[in-house]
Amino acid sequence: MNIRRLVTLETVGAAMVTVLVIVAIFAPMLAPHDPTIVVAPTFGDPGAPTLAFPMGTDELGRDVLSRIIFGARISLTVGVAAMAVTMTIGIAIGLCSGFFGGAVDFILMRFTDLMLSLPPLLLAMALVAVLRPSLRTIFIVIGLVSWTSIARVVRAETLAMSRRDFVVGAAALGAPSRRLIARHIIPNVLPIIVVMAALRTSDTLLLDAALSFLGLGVPPPTPSWGRMIEEATIYFRTAPWLATFPGLAIFYAVLSFNLLGYGFLRRRSQ
Amino acid sequence: MMRRRLGPARIALLLHVLAIAFAFGCGGGPPPLNLPPHAMVIRLADADDVPTLDPAAGYDTVSWTFEQAIFDTLVRYGDGNIELEPDIATAWESSPDATTFTFHLRADARFSDGRTVTSEDFRYGIERVLNPATRSRGMEYYRGIAGAADFAAHRNPHVSGIDTPDNSTIVFHLGAPDPIFAHKLAMPFASAIPRDVAEKWGDDFSRHVVGSGAFMLREWIGGQRLVLVRNPYYFAKPLPHLDAIVESVGVNQELQWLRFDAGQIDAVVDIPPAEFPYVMKTPALRKLTLAKTTVTTRYLGMNCQMWPFTDVRVRRALSCAIDRHKLIAILNGRGVVARGVMPPNLPGYDPDLEGYDYDPAKARALLEQAHLARGFEFEIWMRADQTILMLAQSIQQDLAPLGIRARLKPVAWGPFLEAIRQPRTVQSFMQGWEADFPDPENFLGALISRAQWGSNNDSFYSNPEVEQLLAQAEPVADLKKRYALYDQAEKIVVADAPWVFLYYPVTYIIRQPWVHDYVINPMRPTRFEHVWLSPHPD
Amino acid sequence: MLAYLVRRIIFGAAVLVGTSVITFTIAFVVPADPAVAMAGAKADPQTLASIRIEMGLDQPLYVQYARYFDRAIHGDLGRSYIRRESVTRLIADRFPATAVLAGAAMALSLMLGIAMGALAAAYRGRAADNILLVISLALVSIPVFWLGTMLLIAVAAAIRSFPLGGYSGATSLILPTLTLALGSAGYYSRVLHTSLCDAFDQDYVRTARGKGLSRVRVMLKHAMANALLPLVTLAGLDLAGLLSGVVLTETVFNWPGIGRLAAEAIFNLDIPVIMGTVLFSALLIVVVNLLVDLLYAWLDPRIRLAETG
């Protein structure tokens, strides 16, 4: 009975995320080969999976399994860093908007509406293309295009919070805004922020993979799952394994954060 | 009491009906072709739309493929070679000092709207290119005509150096000797353009082109299909043999191959890399292929003004450290190891040039001499293209054992060009150059001379000796003497190694057994006037 | 109601102006020279300079913007640097392909999403609910471009003559539609599930249940109407997004739509086309937002009452 209780969305999600983090941290120990060097000199002709190379080798003779293991590092770094940028912008705008209200709220929310009407992928592509792809460019750009939903949720929660008695009371006693936000608002909106953070990470992972797929990801030879799929598309008939495994890796990473996020969300609403 | 709500089933139904009606109301796919039942039609396909059909605008293989079919120039290249032959001009002569060129036009050439082609149409074509308002990419080739600058600055309504004494004669006076000027008139930029049509449509001329070539535009559905049909007024009767050329758009390489395999496409100009080994291993397919070594050189440019490439030993070390045979293996054999600046097929090419062999030990020794025995770190810029990235990664792998860490910088085409043209900005870059005309000047003059700094000499290389030889060679019309001078210059450049000469690309075309007289030209896209098809299944 | 409509239209126009300012800034402040994009790889500095002047790139930025704005409100979005064609025409050329795909994908994802969401809600708290939840989360987590590639691999291996890309009639629509629809179906089913469950907890539904009506009947008769409303909003916005082009799916399947046009433009830094497609998509979102709000008011009289009263 106890064990069944333990298997919930969030615990499964957390376990999957843990595995991902472990793989990323210990990549050099887990990967059978260096992901950038030639292990099977069959250039231009990808090698099928064998016992030695369980996921095959790519057109440059590199081990696909090792590349996927190392790819976890880049994906997690970009996913988490982009999530952090997204959350920082979103929370700052949401808090200010909800707490101060009035003109501040109006201006910030109209700006949010404006950003919402821009297509995020196109915007991210355009920014990365002109700013030249690098790790930093990518997570900043992803953050810049995806904070709007966070801002709206945080604003709504803050608005609700700041009308509560204890906040109104503290304000009446002359507590400064900074203190009110830090002491009363933030702790109370924190749970929803955690949920949003998990869900956002899955979105940023997808966006990062999409950018890499379009050739706008972290420059090679850093293995990135999205780019591996892009490089594999021309072999989709002759070497289908090349595109299959990195896609499964992205799917796994995104699903793990989604399970975590929805699990929390469901618990919260129950 | 609450009002009666809309039934949920009705909402769901509404949503579905809306969506479905929407999906099918718009129709799907292009309309039927409407060609006569026994028309001889060649079916081609490409991933992307043809960029343009306007000869002033196009400067890429795909645009030129169709511009060549629709427009005529004074002179053109033979179907399978790079010798000039008559197009609209039946004869031409140049003054001994190569400053005056006279062309005699045939009288029976007509545009596809029936009007006769005259020398005025050629003058207009070139003036249109030189007019800054056209924003043509071909301007530079005709700036050497006397009076071009005054015309471009709107100080003169015509280019004074172009004379049209009568309808069938056109004379070009140049400001300086240019032995290869006739080749510049074989570029589609210099096509005969009907002024009335071009001025009527302005920038939209591309969609309403009228030319005197073998074919004319029937239909162009953006992103879907381009259809050319035979021009009934074409002068070289009974050419063309084909009734129509149909290019389907939105079919990437791999899908082109699948459709070719199913007999739905008649020719594929680029066999996808993944299928290439299979094609070569299958005799029935192999005999359908045509190979050509393009007049192109691919190279890794090193900025001679930036550390560590200021040192010739480092540049030579890199030249020895990169395994070109591996690059060609990655390209499935579709390349020839490069030994110098000029590619084979270019007149003046020196087959005995030594170049550099793959020799890591020698590279290591050179690095030691340059006090870089422990290696170094540098950047390679390139355009974000899958093949280029793959090759760059192979180079990265080759350099790693020498302690040289190459950081790859893939960027979009525009920013890439801009960056490499800035002095002291980009340490090294992957580039290529395709010949515009068959002459060494188009490689050495265009890429190596000091005058091209900030333009096409992006390794910022300069050597006074080379400069002198280039200046000496440029006006020489005697080909033997000319090529000898360029050859001398190239040998010095190879020793100075401002580039790692990588490879000369080879492209493979495959066509169906029922396609005849399909010939490939080393420098220009295939022409379709002589192509014909025997009966075949659909 | 009329005042509300006018306010919404003014706001929509403001959003479009804002969008144009943002895209213009991104396009022109970045360190990339549009003349290079236009002149191509081989142009010499003289040609570049001449093109720069001809394009008005030597003018101050605000002058360039004013010109752009003036032309844009007359329906002229400029000309592509690469193709020289009017951006309006390029978008019009590509729109039908995108619209067909968007419509088909929307239809399929709504059908699947509503079915899954309703089923899950009907079995709320039971095993079927959990299984459907995991399925929908899995659908949401699949990268679109990978799903497309996998479908291509599977179909290429199985059916030889199947159209594997390009835009050539109804069969060519199947794979891209599936690719696009599965992810949104997962998402819609989650949204519908949540709002259905909320509705179950409302008093009127409880009353209905109290009267002894079965769960399914209650859901269909009472809860569904309210629960579909958020879905309408979402689907509307998604449709606007789809209509403005689906870069990834169109790339995988070589679909000649607006998404590919925009992607190509970005890779070539063809700024007028980038700005045109972004503006077009903003316009769609603004218009659809407006329509959704009106539809809302029509579907649910309470909103109309709240607005006027």
Q: Which pLDDT tens digit goes with each residue over A108-144?
A: 988 888 888 888 888 888 888 777 778 888 888 899 8
Query: Are the beta carbons of C220 and C243 closer than 8 angstroms?
Result: no
Residue A39 CB-density burial (10 A; 0-12 exposed, 13-18 middle, 19+ buried): middle
Asked if C106 lies within 8 A of B22 by C-beta distance, the reply is: yes
Q: Work out the percent of chain B whose per-residue pLDDT is above 90.
A: 64
Mean pLDDT calculated for residue range C184-195: 87
The confidence score (pLDDT) of residue B2 equals: 38
B386 part of contact set with chain A, CB < 8 Å: yes
* Chain C interface disruption, residue of B135, B140, B431, B450, most C CBs within 10 A: B135
Q: How far apart are CA B436 and CA B77, in angstroms?
A: 12
Asked if C85 lies within 8 A of B7 by C-beta distance, the reply is: no
- Residue A231's pLDDT band, with cuts at 50, 70 and 90, is confident
Q: Measure CA C97 to chain center.
A: 14
Mean pLDDT calculated for residue range A16-33: 91
B131 part of contact set with chain C, CB < 8 Å: no
| pLDDT at B1 > cutoff 80 | no
Q: How far apart are CA C60 and CA C62, in angstroms?
A: 6
For residue C98, which residues of chain A lie inside 8 Å, CB to CB? none
Residues 6+ apart with CB under 8 A from C211: none
Please give the residue that has the higher pLDDT: either A221 or B97.
B97
- Residue B26's pLDDT band, with cuts at 50, 70 and 90, is very low
Q: How far apart are CA B257 and CA B282, in angstroms?
A: 15
Please give the residue that has the higher pLDDT: either A60 or B61.
B61
| pLDDT at B85 > cutoff 70 | yes
CA-based nearest residue to B249, from B51, B98, B412 = B51
Ordered DSSP codes for C106-154 = HHHHHHHHHHHHHHHHHTTTSHHHHHHHHHHHHHHHS-HHHHHHHHHHH
Mean pLDDT calculated for residue range A161-179: 76
* Chain B interface disruption, residue of C38, C50, C164, most B CBs within 10 A: C50
B358 in helix, strand or coil? coil
Ordered DSSP codes for A35-83 = TTS-SS--TTSPBPP-SSSTT-B-TTS-BHHHHHHHHHHHHHHHHHHHH
- Residue B527's pLDDT band, with cuts at 50, 70 and 90, is very high
The confidence score (pLDDT) of residue B173 equals: 96
C224 part of contact set with chain B, CB < 8 Å: yes
Asked if A255 lies within 8 A of C282 by C-beta distance, the reply is: no
Among candidates B135, B454, B456 on the partner chain, residue whose Cβ is nearest the Cβ of C42:
B456
For residue A221, which residues of chain B lie inside 8 Å, CB to CB? 393, 396-397, 408
- Residue C171's pLDDT band, with cuts at 50, 70 and 90, is confident
Asked if A118 lies within 8 A of C22 by C-beta distance, the reply is: yes
B32 part of contact set with chain C, CB < 8 Å: no
Mean pLDDT calculated for residue range A79-91: 91
Among candidates A37, A230, A239 on the partner chain, residue whose Cβ is nearest the Cβ of B386:
A230
| pLDDT at B501 > cutoff 80 | yes
A12 part of contact set with chain C, CB < 8 Å: no
| pLDDT at B217 > cutoff 60 | yes
- ipTM of this predicted structure: 0.87
| pLDDT at B21 > cutoff 80 | no
The confidence score (pLDDT) of residue C173 equals: 85
Contacting C residues, span 42-61, partner chain A, CB-CB under 8 Å: none
| pLDDT at A1 > cutoff 70 | no
Asked if B254 lies within 8 A of A237 by C-beta distance, the reply is: yes
B323 part of contact set with chain A, CB < 8 Å: no
Q: Measure CA B277 to chain center.
A: 26
The confidence score (pLDDT) of residue C302 equals: 57
Asked if A37 lies within 8 A of B397 by C-beta distance, the reply is: yes
How far apart, in Å, are the Cα atoms of A115 and each of A158, B153, C287? Answer: 21, 45, 16
For residue A213, which residues of chain C lie inside 8 Å, CB to CB? 143, 145, 248
What is the tally of helices (H) and strands (E) in chain B? Answer: 18, 20
Q: How far apart are CA A100 and CA A104, in angstroms?
A: 6
| pLDDT at B188 > cutoff 50 | yes
Asked if A122 lies within 8 A of C133 by C-beta distance, the reply is: no
The confidence score (pLDDT) of residue C1 equals: 64
- Closest residue in chain A to residue B331, using alpha carbons only: A44
Residues 6+ apart with CB under 8 A from B60: B51, C40
Please tell me the least confidently modeled range out of B141-150, B319-328, C46-55. C46-55
Query: How many B×C Cβ pairs under 8 Å?
Result: 193
- Residue A215's pLDDT band, with cuts at 50, 70 and 90, is confident
Phi/psi class of residue B242: alpha, beta or left (left: φ > 0; alpha: ψ in -120 to 50)?
beta
- Residue B169's pLDDT band, with cuts at 50, 70 and 90, is very high
The confidence score (pLDDT) of residue A19 equals: 94
Residue with tokens 């404006």: A114
B220-251: pLDDT as tens digits: 988 788 999 999 999 998 889 999 999 988 78
Please give the residue that has the higher pLDDT: either A183 or B127.
B127
Mean pLDDT calculated for residue range C219-242: 76
Mean pLDDT calculated for residue range B167-178: 94
The alpha carbon of residue B67 is apart from the nearest alpha carbon of chain C, in Å, by 14
| pLDDT at B325 > cutoff 80 | yes
C275 part of contact set with chain A, CB < 8 Å: no
Asked if A233 lies within 8 A of C274 by C-beta distance, the reply is: no
How far apart, in Å, are the Cα atoms of A233 and each of A214, C150, C166? Answer: 11, 10, 16
Query: Encoding tokens for residue C284?
Result: 């769609």
- Closest residue in chain A to residue C158, using alpha carbons only: A237
B108 part of contact set with chain C, CB < 8 Å: no
- A partners (3+ CB pairs within 8 A) are B, C
Asked if B415 lies within 8 A of A132 by C-beta distance, the reply is: yes
Please give the residue that has the higher pLDDT: either C125 or B356.
B356
Strand partners, B436: none
CA-based nearest residue to C120, from A153, A10, A266, A268 = A266
Among candidates B254, B332, B389 on the partner chain, residue whose Cβ is nearest the Cβ of A44:
B332
Mean pLDDT calculated for residue range B494-516: 94
Can the peptide bond before residue C272 be classed as cis, meaning omega within 30 degrees of 0?
no
The alpha carbon of residue A68 is apart from the nearest alpha carbon of chain B, in Å, by 17
Task: Determine the residue type at C47.
Answer: T
For residue B389, which residues of chain A lie inside 8 Å, CB to CB? 215, 220
The confidence score (pLDDT) of residue B25 equals: 46
Among candidates B248, B384, B456 on the partner chain, residue whose Cβ is nearest the Cβ of C166:
B248
Q: How far apart are CA C107 and CA A48, in angstroms?
A: 39
Q: At what angle do helices A186-213 and A64-100 cross, to 10 degrees?
A: 140
The alpha carbon of residue C281 is apart from the nearest alpha carbon of chain A, in Å, by 7
| pLDDT at B509 > cutoff 80 | yes
Average pLDDT, chain A: 84
B414-451: pLDDT as tens digits: 778 878 888 888 999 999 998 988 999 999 988 998 88
For the ranges B117-126, C59-68, C98-107, C194-203, the one whose mean pLDDT is highest: B117-126
B401 part of contact set with chain A, CB < 8 Å: no
Mean pLDDT calculated for residue range B353-365: 93
The confidence score (pLDDT) of residue B19 equals: 55
Asked if C204 lies within 8 A of B2 by C-beta distance, the reply is: yes
B415 part of contact set with chain C, CB < 8 Å: yes
Please give the residue that has the higher pLDDT: either A223 or B147.
B147
Query: Are the beta carbons of C283 and C258 closer than 8 angstroms?
Result: no
The confidence score (pLDDT) of residue B6 equals: 46
